[in-house]
């Protein structure tokens, strides 16, 4: 919808209706640094309205059969798929990611999220045990919990939001979603498809705005008993504090400082391009991106030379350029934060082998004020450096040598996070051994980011609490009850 100055103006979606808000936030195009959209700056009032709508819709939606809900999800998937190109263009413009990534990963995965949970909801079974000596049979039943708060970040906007909406509504909950205020457009576009898909009013409500204002009103609302959050560790801490007095159910998917462990028998022809991708895909703004690369000393020099050559080949371009490998970072503040890590690394005596401050960006004049940065490789950096300890969440990766298997496991585990690791080796025994010892919710060996949605996704240590996936999301979005029958 066109608003002030012809700019796109979003509205909240509550009870099946688009509703204007009393105040709005500016949203920037990361590739130019210009305001291109206005996003509702919602607060308590909008959360109250959304809670009312979600409460009213719950009895009807939760009493539908899984088959009926599944059909609605399938229709929504079809409608999203029919709008794939339009959604991909919007995601790329709003987030700064390349159009190619939005077309091949973000939007197809959002479609798949609905198809996947439409199917998986049909296949859950419950438990049953017998106590014949007491004449008892015990079984479990599961029921939707109620109104779910779903809070998502800016890096994979529709991908991550639908990864929460789909399992929550498939299980019979009604939801209030709050996308990141930095990337709200595709969530708003999806709302236009809900009625046609057959989603009843009030089942999916979306309130846009900032974390401190609308996010906090949502997570502290007493009638919202569960919160599924994906974002940073400091925000998770705040949400945990706010929800604690109400004993809410929490699922927290947080940051990472993900290691790649590369042994001397790795297939470098596969390992190098994949590790470049795992370091720099989506501008390094994926919680699963590699940011510490440990390379066995015997191949260290060769790896470094070939890795830097390959990183330099990655094309940074405007998001709409189909040949670009990387687009713009999300915001000016984030670009400055990422750059500050390079400055600190230099001050500590590390070497920057390519990228920021070493090579030159080549951008059209219109994009000179965009938030672009080159893929950057740091070496000669100590394990204690903030670049090796803290999540940077940008196109920056550190490469360091190691000598033994035992040593690298200890060093890879020596951070507060534990989300995703990769291990590269031709020795199958070593691959299993190392994968088991890494403190990481996910380990990809000789590959990266191959997703099996049936299995648990999530992190250990400060990377999160709980898991998402077919069975895990179902368990999170339902409440279990054990029933004993004496016969
Ligand atoms: N583990 C995963 O699956 C996963 C996936 C993607 C991103 N992430 C992490 O997300 C972070 C980047 O995303 P971000 O910068 O948007 O994170 P963020 O924590 O700043 O924001 C995430 C969401 O929380 C909201 N929020 C912020 N403060 C809030 C508050 N006080 N109360 C309620 N809601 C609040 C934001 O508006 C946004 O919608 C990185 O740390 C990244 O690793 C993790
Ligand atoms: N949740 C998933 C990915 C998270 C990426 C973080 O940036 C997923 O693939 O299901």
At residue 2 the predicted structure's pLDDT band, cuts being 50, 70 and 90, is low
Instruction: Report how far residue 258's alpha carbon sits from residue 413's, in angstroms, rounded to the nearest whole number.
Output: 10
Q: 420 CB under 6 A from ligand 1? A: no
User: Residue 307: in which H helix or E strand, if any?
Assistant: helix 297-313
Q: What are the CA-CA distances from residue 340 to residues 111, 356, 361, 386 (Å)?
A: 37, 11, 18, 11
Ligand 2 atom closest to the CA of 160, numbered from 1 = 1
User: Residue 131: in which H helix or E strand, if any?
Assistant: strand 128-131
Q: What are the CA-CA distances from residue 133 to residues 127, 158, 486 (Å)?
A: 19, 53, 11
pLDDT in tens, 64-76: 999 999 999 999 9
With tokens 């049979």, the residue in question is 137
Q: 288 CB under 6 A from ligand 2? A: yes
CB 110 within 8 A of CB 162: yes
pLDDT in tens, 102-115: 999 999 999 999 99
Helix, coil or strand: residue 127:
coil
What is the DSSP code (8-state) at residue 66? H
Could you tell me which of 117, 118, 141, 115 has the C-alpha nearest to residue 128?
141
Alpha carbon nearest to ligand 1 atom 36, residue: 211
What is the DSSP code (8-state) at residue 162? H
| Region at 172 (left for phi over 0; alpha for psi -120 to 50; beta for the rest) | left
pTM over 0.80: yes
How crowded is the C-beta side of 451, counted as CA atoms within 13 Å?
A: 14
Instruction: Report how far residue 221's alpha carbon sits from residue 234's, in angstroms, rounded to the nearest whole number.
Output: 20
Arithmetic mean of pLDDT, 211-237:
98
pLDDT in tens, 422-476: 999 999 999 999 999 999 999 999 999 999 999 999 999 999 999 999 999 999 9
**Interstrand relation of 417-418 and 460-461 (parallel, antiparallel or unpaired):** antiparallel
Out of 97, 153, 167, 230, give the residue to mutate to test ligand 2, the one with the largest number of ligand atoms within 8 Å of its CB.
Answer: 230
Query: Average pLDDT, whole number, for the chain?
Result: 97
Q: What is the pLDDT of residue 306?
A: 98
How many residues belong to the chain?
487
pLDDT in tens, 45-99: 999 999 999 999 999 999 999 999 999 999 999 999 999 999 999 999 999 999 9
Arithmetic mean of pLDDT, 394-409:
98
Out of 235, 248, 472, give the residue to mutate to test ligand 1, the one with the largest number of ligand atoms within 8 Å of its CB.
Answer: 235
Q: What percent of the chain has pLDDT over 90?
A: 99
Asked if the model's pLDDT at residue 239 lies above 90, the reply is: yes
Q: What are the CA-CA distances from residue 291 to residues 98, 257, 259, 288, 457 (Å)?
A: 20, 6, 6, 9, 19
Ligand 1 atom closest to the CA of 234, numbered from 1 = 19
At residue 6 the predicted structure's pLDDT band, cuts being 50, 70 and 90, is confident
Alpha carbon nearest to ligand 1 atom 44, residue: 254
With tokens 């590699």, the residue in question is 290
Out of 153, 184, 258, give the residue to mutate to test ligand 1, the one with the largest number of ligand atoms within 8 Å of its CB.
Answer: 153
Arithmetic mean of pLDDT, 195-199:
98
Q: 328 CB under 6 A from ligand 1? A: no
At residue 3 the predicted structure's pLDDT band, cuts being 50, 70 and 90, is low
pLDDT in tens, 273-309: 999 999 999 999 999 999 999 999 999 999 999 999 9
CB 142 within 8 A of CB 66: no
Q: What percent of the chain has pLDDT over 70?
A: 99
The tokens describing 42, both together, are 């919602």
Arithmetic mean of pLDDT, 413-417:
98
**Residues with a known catalytic role:** 253
């Amino acid at each position: 919808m066109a608003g002030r100055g012809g700019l796109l103006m979003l509205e909240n979606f509550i009870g099946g209706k688009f509703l204007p808000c009393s105040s709005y936030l500016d949203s920037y195009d990361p590739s130019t640094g210009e305001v291109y959209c206005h996003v509702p700056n919602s607060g308590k009032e909008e959360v109250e309205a959304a809670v009312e709508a979600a409460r009213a819709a719950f009895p009807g939606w939760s009493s539908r059969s899984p088959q009926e809900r599944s059909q609605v999800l399938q229709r929504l998937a079809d409608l999203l798929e029919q709008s794939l190109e339009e959604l991909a263009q919007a995601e790329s413009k709003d987030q700064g990611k390349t159009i190619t990534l939005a077309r091949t990963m973000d939007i197809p995965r959002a479609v798949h999220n609905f198809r996947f949970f439409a199917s998986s909801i049909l296949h859950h079974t419950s438990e049953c045990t017998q106590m014949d000596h007491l004449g008892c049979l015990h079984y479990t039943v599961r029921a939707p919990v109620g109104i779910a708060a779903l809070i998502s970040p800016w890096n994979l906007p529709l991908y991550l939001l639908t990864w929460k909406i789909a399992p929550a509504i498939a299980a019979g909950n009604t939801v209030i979603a709050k996308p990141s205020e930095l990337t709200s457009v595709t969530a708003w576009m999806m709302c236009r498809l809900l009625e046609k898909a057959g989603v009843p009013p009030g089942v999916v409500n979306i309130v846009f705005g900032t974390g401190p204002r609308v996010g906090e009103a949502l997570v502290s609302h007493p009638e919202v008993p569960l919160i599924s959050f994906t974002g940073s560790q400091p925000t998770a801490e705040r949400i945990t504090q706010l929800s604690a007095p109400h004993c809410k159910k929490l699922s927290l998917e947080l940051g990472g400082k993900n290691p790649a462990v590369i042994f001397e028998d790795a297939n470098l022809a596969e390992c190098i391009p994949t590790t470049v991708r795992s370091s720099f895909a989506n501008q390094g703004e994926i919680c699963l991106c590699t940011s510490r690369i440990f390379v066995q000393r015997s191949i260290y020099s060769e790896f470094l030379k070939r890795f830097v050559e390959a990183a330099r080949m990655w094309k940074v371009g405007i998001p709409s350029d189909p040949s670009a490998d990387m687009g713009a970072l999300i915001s000016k503040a984030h670009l400055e934060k990422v750059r500050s890590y390079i400055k600190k690394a230099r001050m500590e005596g590390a070497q920057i082998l390519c990228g920021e401050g070493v090579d030159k960006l080549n951008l059209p004049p219109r994009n000179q004020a965009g938030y672009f940065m080159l893929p950057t490789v740091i070496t000669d950096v100590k394990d204690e450096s903030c670049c090796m300890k803290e999540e940077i969440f940008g196109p920056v990766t550190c490469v360091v040598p190691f000598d033994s298997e035992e040593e690298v496991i200890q060093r890879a585990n020596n951070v507060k996070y534990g989300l995703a690791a990769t291990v590269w080796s031709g020795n199958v025994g070593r691959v299993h051994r190392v994968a088991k010892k890494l403190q990481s919710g996910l380990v990809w060996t000789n590959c990266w980011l191959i997703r099996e949605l049936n299995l648990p996704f999530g992190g250990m240590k400060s990377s999160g609490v709980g898991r998402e996936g077919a069975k895990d999301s179902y368990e999170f979005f339902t409440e279990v009850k054990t029933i004993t029958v004496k016969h």
